[in-house]
Amino acid sequence: MVVELKEMKHWLRVDGDEEDKLVSSLLSAAVKHLEKSGVKDTENELYNLAVKMLVTEWYENRGAAGDGKDKLSYSVQSMILQLK
């Protein structure tokens, strides 16, 4: 399953197309991050939620590096373990 840009923008409550490039980039990065983390089960609703949560964390905390927000939430870490 793949989270589409339109679905991700709706999830983030982003209107217009000004953020399309950023959101698309974050979507690609989230998929790659899960792949590199060993996630194999991509046909699971939990996978879609993990992608959405990763994108949300990165979107909402962009530019926040160095202030303790560089770690993934416990929920996302837990989902990654369950999807391996």
- The domains located in the chain, with CATH, are 5-83 (1.10.3230)
Inter-axis angle of helices 45-60 and 5-12, nearest 10 = 60
Contact call for residues 1 and 52 (beta carbons, < 8 A): no
pLDDT tens-digit series, residues 31-59: 999 999 999 889 989 999 999 999 999 99
pTM for the predicted model, two decimal places: 0.82
Q: Map residue 11 onto helix, strand or coil.
A: helix
State the pLDDT at residue 5: 96
